[in-house]
Amino acid sequence: MTRHTTIEVDDELLERAEEALGTRGLKDTVDRALGEVVRAWHRKRLAEGLRAGTAFDFENAPIDRTAQWRTDLSSQRTPARGTGRIARR
């Protein structure tokens, strides 16, 4: 969802933000800046969780996230004739 709005923007600050973010134009600069703020907020929350020891739930985390899809793939493979090797379909 996007919103059309009218705001007053400091031209000098916009130019500096464009340079810092590598963007051109108000829309791209504002979009990138908002994304950077959200990412910084997530990094801060992660750092706080790491310091507190609550960033990861090791008790309930799956040991191997790939186990399920590897099991699914192995059921699709059949032995190649006369080679003793598994051939892909």
pTM: 0.59
Chunked into runs of 10 residues, the chain (89 residues) has average pLDDT values of 93 98 97 96 93 79 62 60 60
Domains of the chain by residue range: 11-87
Structure tokens at 49: 């969780």
pLDDT at 76: 60
Of all helices (H) and strands (E), which one includes residue 79? strand 78-79
Find residue 87's DSSP bridge partners. 78
Instruction: Give the C-alpha separation, 68 to 82, whole Å.
Output: 29
